[in-house]
A and B are shown apart, each in its own frame.
Chain A
Amino acid sequence: MKRYLLSIVLVLFAVAGIGSYYAYGASDRLPEFRLAAVQGDGAIGDRIRLSGSYGGRMFSQFLAVSAQGSDYDRDRSIFHKWRERVRLADADPEIAALIREHRRFMRGKPRYAWALNNLHKDREWLIFADAKLYQRGPSAWDLAATIEMLSLSGGEVRRYDVLLDQTSAAAGGYVQDVARIGEKLHLIIQIGYDRYADYILDMNGRLIEKVILSGEEDGPENGGGRYITAFPSSSGDALAMAVTKTDPETGAARKISFHRYHYASGSISKLAEIPIDQKEGEKVAVYAADDQFAVLIHDEQTARWRLLPARGGTSLPPEQSAKAGSLGGKEIKTAYVADGIAFLLMKNGSRHVVAAIDLSSGALLYSGRVELAGAAAHEEEELALLRLNNLYVAPREGSD
């Protein structure tokens, strides 16, 4: 045994050193934060996830904080990080269900949440469409689409590559919605920032018609600075569009009009128009659902909004507002609108505060604050090292 002392010592030294390092690493915990409900519906708080960084170490540690606690990027396994990178861990539940049901057809299709725009499913067909811009020459681009269709009754798969258009816009080519109305296929594609078009094809991939939804010649608004946000309807038969008209000099929003384009009739109806006076330092959030539209503007102190019914024809409702101070905060950092609720991330001193306001009544549905779990003695110190800038709200369970 003595003869092998050198080898034994080296092996024990190596195991003890590396073992101690990882044992120490496992005990070296970063502070645990959580979003605690102060008042209101805790189920709303469960959908909220805040992300940012903790600065209590030499290098910032990225983390997410929710009602369940904090989740540091440092503590995630490399397998988890890899799954996130290849877009599985954050795959949309609807896409995950489609993958389970039609694994072969869904192979190679994007798995992130907004890829739902590229998919259409009805009782007969599951359809995927993607579009790309190919440069043909200086300032000349071809817009081409790939369409794959799976017959849900017979299992037949069709694939078409279609040249849709020729354009001078170098950006865009994003599919915003895919719909099937009878034997016609509608591809809503964004080109540039201010142009949408409905490319109507037959079920054999032949282009029948192109309807410009906004553009230089036709469309809901002409000229000036603007950008458009599209919101496909849950029923799949229409598209809501929020057209934000901006000041050509300052870029500030001046007017937002809501339009609805019906695939079957090809008609575009202007449903509402809201004058906006976006001031310096104010941010604008637009939201459209099947039954309502909302525009929320906020600066650091105040959030103000208007909520309109999506049927149109009614007069402009009065603007409602809420002060950060009345919601438990002092400074509004960011806002997000979903399901008729405004979610505000605020700061009150070193503490992050979240409020959820019902846009129709202005009532506070939920308020929560980030707390340090455990040792409360160092709470202020640790909270001051936290920088949460992003607010994510998970879809309501059972919602589309």
Chain B
Amino acid sequence: MSDYLKLTHMEIRRFRHVLFGLMAVTAAVQILAVIAAATSELARRRQMHNIEYLHGQSALFPSGKMTFAETMFRIQTWYAAPILLCIAALLLYVFIIWYRDWFGKGTFIYRLLMLPGPRSHLYWAKLSAILVFIFTLLSFQLLLLVLQDALFRLIVPGDLRAPSHFSDVISANRALPVLLPASPDQFLVSYGMGIVALLVVFAAILLERSYRPPYGIILAAGYLSVCGAALAFATFKLLAGYYRWLYPGEMLVLVVAVWGVTAALSVWLGNRLLAKKVSV
């Protein structure tokens, strides 16, 4: 357990600069976008000197006053861009977290594999680190929303603004409801599926690392294709009710089984390869 925690901490430390960099970029871009949107809208309304326009109503914003949700609605691209950057960086790091040990300075993977204790600790440490990064960035996004709301209230005078529900603020931007679903069960299902996908990629990376080129690449690509096809079939065909001859309970069991078996197989394969097959 201690080895696992040490390895996890090591992985987190190795990514800390990138993580804080991503947080800084996200904060800077989103805060600037909120400031720019709020001040320009405020200036426009003041410039009009038109009470009717100042309190202009719309279907989405019936009060006619400025709200933080409305401001979020206006800055879709600028707000989502740093989020997409974080997603891209994490997706890339899913590969880098393994390959840097082989291709980095020295023979770091050699030292890692020679550590006393089960090699599976290495596997779980890398997985845990990725999850910590994902959920830290999510939590940071939530904190930013609270700070940005406070900033919005500082910029817009009280008589020109109306309060926003936090759920409205989340749903105002197209990217946020995907990352932060309103219901906790949707959160668990979405991120659970993401974790299974991560396990499949880990297994593919270890397959590639375990066999000489081109066999490793072929095996990894084959494993990704088979698992991807199985998961896609279970999710988009079975779960969508395309196969009427199955009763709903049977469909659900089958879908959960496909995802569960894929996860279990990937964990088993990843750990087995790491323990027996991976070479430096």
Contacts and interface: CB of A to CB of B under 8 A. Distances in A.
Interface of A: 3-4, 6-7, 10-11, 13-18, 20-22, 24-26, 28, 55, 57-59, 74-75, 77-79, 82-83, 85-88, 99, 103, 107-110
Given A26-B184, A88-B247, A110-B244, 5 more contacts: A7-B8, A18-B138, A58-B69, A78-B183, A85-B241
Contact of B189 (A15, A28, A78): A78
A386 to B, nearest CB: 14
Interface stretch (B84-92, B151-159, B167-175): B167-175
B168 A57 contact: yes
B239 interface: yes
Contact of B13 (A6, A109, A110): A6
A260 B232 CA distance: 51
Contacts of A26: 184
B167 A22 contact: no
A20 B187 CA distance: 14
Contact of A7 (B12, B73, B139): B12
A14 B13 contact: no
Given A58-B171, A77-B183, A78-B189, A10 B136 contact: yes
Interface in B118-141: 132, 135-136, 138-140
Contacts of A87: 241, 248
Contacts of A16: 139
A58 B60 contact: yes
B183 A86 contact: no
Contact of B167 (A25, A88, A107): A25
16 contacts: A7-B12, A7-B132, A10-B12, A14-B135, A17-B140, A18-B187, A21-B180, A22-B184, A25-B167, A57-B167, A58-B172, A79-B252, A82-B252, A85-B241, A88-B249, A107-B247
Given A7-B8, A10-B132, A17 B185 contact: no
A13 B185 contact: no
Contacts of A24: 166
A24 B185 CA distance: 15
A88 to B, nearest CB: 4
Please classify the interface of chain A as helix (H, G, I), strand (E, B), loop, or mixed, using the class held by over half of its residues: helix
A153 B241 CA distance: 32
Interface residues of B, number: 46
Nearest to B187: A22
B185 A28 contact: no
A31 to B, nearest CB: 12
A103 B248 CA distance: 13
Contact of B132 (A3, A14, A59, A85): A14
Given A22-B187, A25-B184, A82-B239, A108 B165 contact: no
Given A4-B9, A21-B142, A58 B245 contact: no
A152 B1 CA distance: 62
B12 A6 contact: yes
A18 B139 contact: yes
A130 to B, nearest CB: 11
Contact of A58 (B9, B168, B189, B244): B168
B245 A107 contact: yes
A20 B12 contact: no
A3 to B, nearest CB: 8
Contacts of B252: 79, 82
B139 A25 contact: no
A162 B2 CA distance: 71
A10 B15 CA distance: 12
A78 B183 CA distance: 8
A87 B248 CA distance: 8
A273 to B, nearest CB: 42
B248 A86 contact: yes
Contact of B16 (A6, A14, A107): A6
Q: Which of B139, B180, B249, B252 gathers most chain A CB within 10 Å? A: B139
B61 interface: yes
A310 to B, nearest CB: 36
B143 interface: yes
Interface in B40-73: 60-62, 69-70, 73
A16 B138 CA distance: 11
A107 B8 CA distance: 49
A28 B165 contact: yes
A13 B138 CA distance: 10
A6 B19 CA distance: 12
